[in-house]
């Protein structure tokens, strides 16, 4: 059965290739740092499940020190110039879109197919989406490579070109997920919950609703993830005040409360995969450029959610 | 309360614009130590958590095929396609993608999007081309703004669309948490109440996208002066 284990081998081999190609790239002044960084990431993918926790921790620390002090370098693998690209685009026309669209289409089809009982033994149903996405990559390569007469190393070099533009930010989402787990183990959620219920606004329904929605957004900004904030804020403010004291509808509170948290997700660098990684992928000079584009909508929606919850939660 | 030191480290570190990898690692170590763990135990806890969250980084495997297609002129083709449609402006194109992304997410089709697979190779170049066909070659600041908004549309439409689908992770989390506290709700009851916010998100961000072309024109005019 294909599950996370299989995906980790694929990803591990990808990062091995990145490390080797980085080592051989003399255009990158920091090529050995890149080699060490991606090599260690490959080790984590290939052997992480078998290593003792302390060793896994040391691998992370080594990666952080390699990239965190004075950063990684950027290689310049040979790629096509603007003229070549225009000519190639004119020659191939809309055929170029097929491999690109094959990725989401395979991801979509696979997600549905692999959850069917007759195919359940093939792919771990819990990982159907991720497995299908990676399958989509192979389908896209199978279409694109013959179409472009590309040699096997070409996609790896192009992958390295893009990965180098993202740089160390590529592991930030995973680091933050790990930090969330350490926060949980260290009792951060409980402490925040106590703090929230100690400073509970007495009295009005509006104050309770506002404390809950704004609290969800703020705590989500700290944790980078509304899922981590929801249980803490709902146990600290939502249930005791909105539901138990004022008799609000728990379904409306939960639904709109979670969406208030999402407003926080739009405004924090801690939600790296949504905010920091795309800024790197799109080569923005401002690391917080995507967040800045989102803040007006996020604030207006937080206000909207507060009003919506106040109007709806006590009526039905 | 000592465990909250980690949060202070994160907030200060990000505000000082230090390298986020160092900030996150420092916050994890401090939180563990403040929570009474020994140094070895902290490193082990962090290593275990990092290892268990590897699935987050698997998505980078899409980069080789995206890079290969870029090398063959995918972005240029996307630009040509949009540049030929005169009615296409950056604001309208991003609004169209917003609606598409929100509706598909509401149907549970959240994989029809994403920054590496859709925004960088297709949506951002298309929005840039639409802007260029109306405003001429874009100054760097305007180009960056268009790109940032392409990423923002993908996020906002996803966040405020997906909760309408009853089997999405956040709906199941809400249901599970309420059930632990003795309150039983059906996923449908929850997802229905995601609809008002979804409509407001469309109205609020849609309005901004309708005004986006004018904002871009102003930004370009100010840049020339």
Structural domain boundaries in chain B = 2-52, 61-224
A116: DSSP letter = S
CA distance A179 to A186: 10
CA distance A63 to A106: 33
Tally the C-alpha atoms within 13 A of residue B23's C-alpha that lie toward its C-beta: 19
Average pLDDT over residues A123-147: 92
Residue at A4 is within a domain:
no
Tell me what the pLDDT averaged over chain B comes to. Answer: 92
Q: Which residue has the higher pLDDT, A78 or B210?
A: B210
Say whether pLDDT at B159 is over 80: yes
- The pLDDT score that the predictor gives to residue A224 is 87
Say whether pLDDT at A64 is over 70: yes
- The pLDDT score that the predictor gives to residue A271 is 93
Residues 96-135 of A with CB under 8 A from B: 96-97, 99-100, 103-104, 107-108, 111, 127, 129-130, 132-134
Say whether pLDDT at B112 is over 70: yes
Residue at A224 is within a domain:
yes
Q: Is A205 in the same domain as A274?
A: yes
Specify the DSSP element, H or E, that contains B97: helix B90-106
Residue at A103 is within a domain:
yes
Tens digit of pLDDT for each residue in A270-296? 999 999 999 999 999 999 999 999 999
- Do the chains contact at A175 and B122, CB–CB below 8 Å? no
Q: Is A209 in the same domain as A92?
A: no
Tens digit of pLDDT for each residue in A213-246? 999 999 999 888 898 889 889 988 899 889 998 9
- The pLDDT score that the predictor gives to residue A160 is 96
Q: Is A200 in the same domain as A298?
A: yes
Question: By CA distance, what is A78's nearest residue in B?
Answer: B71
B211: pLDDT confidence band, cut at 50, 70 and 90?
Answer: very high
- The pLDDT score that the predictor gives to residue A187 is 80
Residues in A closer than 8 angstroms to B151, CB to CB, are: 278-279, 282, 290, 293
CA distance A22 to A38: 9
Residue at A65 is within a domain:
no
Question: B24 and B10 in contact (C-beta within 8 Å)?
Answer: yes
Q: Is A201 in the same domain as A115?
A: no
A15: pLDDT confidence band, cut at 50, 70 and 90?
Answer: very high
Among A186-195, B32-41, B140-149, which stretch is predicted with the lowest mean pLDDT? Answer: A186-195
Residues 6+ apart with CB under 8 A from A69: B19, B22
Interface test with A, best of B44, B72, B166 (most A CBs within 10 A): B72
Q: Is A144 in the same domain as A194?
A: no
Residues 161-190 of A with CB under 8 A from B: 161-163, 166, 168-183, 185-188
Residue at A305 is within a domain:
yes
CA distance A238 to A236: 6
Q: Is A139 in the same domain as A199?
A: no
- The pLDDT score that the predictor gives to residue A181 is 85
Q: CB-CB: which of B45, B65, B181 is closest to A239?
A: B181
Boundary (domain end) residue, out of A150, A175, A208: A150
Residue at A247 is within a domain:
yes
- Do the chains contact at A285 and B62, CB–CB below 8 Å? no
- The pLDDT score that the predictor gives to residue B141 is 93
Residue at A69 is within a domain:
no
Residues 198-237 of A with CB under 8 A from B: 222, 226-227, 230-231, 234-235
Residues in A closer than 8 angstroms to B77, CB to CB, are: 89, 92-94, 96-97
A126: DSSP letter = G
Average pLDDT over residues A178-190: 84
- The pLDDT score that the predictor gives to residue B214 is 95
Domain count, chain A: 2
Q: CB-CB: which of A181, A186, A278 is closest to B6?
A: A186
B51: pLDDT confidence band, cut at 50, 70 and 90?
Answer: very high
In angstroms, the first-to-last Cα distance of chain B is: 54
Residues in B closer than 8 angstroms to A43, CB to CB, are: none
Q: Is A119 in the same domain as A200?
A: no
Phi-psi category of residue B73: left, alpha or beta, with phi > 0 → left and psi -120 to 50 → alpha: left
- The pLDDT score that the predictor gives to residue A201 is 64
Q: CB-CB: which of B73, B120, B154 is closest to A89?
A: B73
- Do the chains contact at B28 and A178, CB–CB below 8 Å? yes
Q: CB-CB: which of A48, A161, A230 is closest to B67?
A: A161
Residues in A closer than 8 angstroms to B155, CB to CB, are: 265-266, 274-275, 278, 290, 294
A32: pLDDT confidence band, cut at 50, 70 and 90?
Answer: very high
CA distance A105 to A137: 11
Q: Give Dmax over CA atoms of chain B in angstroms.
A: 65
Residues in A closer than 8 angstroms to B196, CB to CB, are: 308, 312
Q: Is A193 in the same domain as A305?
A: yes
Percent of chain A with pLDDT over 70: 99
Say whether pLDDT at A316 is over 70: no
The count of CB pairs under 8 A between chains A and B is 403
Interface test with A, best of B15, B24, B116 (most A CBs within 10 A): B24
Domain that holds residue A290: 187-312
Average pLDDT over residues A184-204: 77
Q: Is A141 in the same domain as A241?
A: no
Residues in B closer than 8 angstroms to A111, CB to CB, are: 111
Q: CB-CB: which of B43, B60, B76 is closest to A85?
A: B76
Q: CB-CB: which of B62, B194, B204 is closest to A300?
A: B204
- The pLDDT score that the predictor gives to residue B150 is 98
Residue at A45 is within a domain:
no
Touching check for A312 and chain B: CB below 8 Å?
A: yes
Q: Both tokens of residue B90?
A: 């950056």
Tell me what the pLDDT averaged over chain A comes to. Answer: 92
Q: Is A146 in the same domain as A197?
A: no
């Amino acid at each position: 059965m294909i599950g996370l284990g299989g995906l980790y081998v694929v990803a591990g081999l990808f990062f091995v290739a990145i490390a080797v190609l980085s080592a051989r790239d003399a255009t990158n002044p920091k090529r050995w740092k890149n080699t060490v960084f991606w090599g260690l990431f490959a080790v984590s993918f290939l052997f992480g499940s078998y290593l003792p926790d302390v060793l896994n921790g040391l691998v992370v620390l080594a990666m952080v020190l390699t990239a965190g002090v004075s950063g990684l370098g950027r290689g310049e693998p040979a790629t096509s110039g603007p003229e070549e690209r225009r000519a190639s685009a004119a020659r191939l026309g809309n055929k170029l879109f097929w491999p690109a669209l094959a990725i989401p289409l395979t991801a979509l089809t696979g997600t549905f197919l692999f959850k069917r009982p007759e195919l359940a033994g093939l792919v771990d149903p819990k990982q159907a989406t991720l497995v299908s996405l990676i399958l989509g990559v192979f389908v896209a390569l199978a279409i694109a490579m013959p179409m472009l007469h590309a040699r096997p190393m070409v996609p790896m070099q192009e992958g390295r070109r893009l990965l180098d533009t993202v740089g160390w930010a590529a592991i930030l989402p995973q680091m933050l997920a790990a930090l969330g787990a350490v926060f949980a183990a260290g009792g951060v959620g409980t402490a925040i919950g106590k703090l929230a219920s100690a400073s509970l606004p007495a009295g009005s329904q509006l104050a309770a609703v506002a404390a809950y929605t704004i609290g969800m957004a703020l705590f989500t900004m700290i944790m980078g993830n509304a899922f981590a904030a929801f249980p803490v804020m709902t146990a600290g403010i939502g249930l005791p005040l909105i539901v138990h004291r004022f008799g609000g509808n728990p379904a409306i509170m939960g639904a709109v409360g979670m969406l208030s948290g999402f407003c926080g997700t739009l405004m924090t660098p801690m939600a790296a995969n949504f905010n920091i990684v795309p800024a790197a992928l799109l080569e923005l000079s401002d690391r917080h450029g995507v967040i800045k584009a989102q803040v007006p909508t996020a604030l207006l929606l937080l206000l909207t959610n507060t009003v919506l919850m106040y109007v709806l939660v006590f009526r039905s | 309360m000592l465990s909250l030191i980690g949060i202070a480290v994160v907030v200060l570190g990000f505000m000082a614009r230090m390298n986020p990898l160092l900030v996150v690692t420092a916050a994890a170590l401090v939180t563990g130590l403040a929570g009474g763990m020994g140094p070895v135990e902290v490193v082990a806890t962090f290593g275990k958590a990092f290892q268990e969250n590897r699935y987050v980084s698997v998505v980078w495997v899409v980069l080789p095929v995206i890079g290969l297609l870029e090398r063959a002129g995918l972005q240029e083709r996307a630009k040509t396609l949009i540049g030929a449609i005169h009615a296409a402006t950056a604001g309208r194109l991003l609004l169209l993608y917003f609606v598409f992304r929100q509706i598909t997410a509401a149907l549970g089709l959240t994989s029809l999007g994403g920054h590496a697979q859709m925004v960088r190779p297709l949506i951002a170049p298309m929005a840039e081309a639409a802007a260029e066909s109306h405003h001429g070659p874009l100054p760097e600041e305007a180009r960056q703004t268009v790109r940032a908004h392409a990423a923002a549309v993908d996020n906002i439409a996803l966040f405020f669309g997906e909760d309408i689908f009853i089997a999405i992770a956040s709906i199941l989390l809400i249901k599970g948490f309420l059930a632990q506290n003795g309150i039983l709700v059906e996923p449908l009851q929850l997802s229905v109440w995601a609809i008002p916010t979804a409509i407001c998100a469309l109205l609020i961000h849609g309005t901004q996208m309708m005004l986006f072309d004018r904002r871009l024109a102003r930004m370009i005019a100010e840049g020339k002066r």
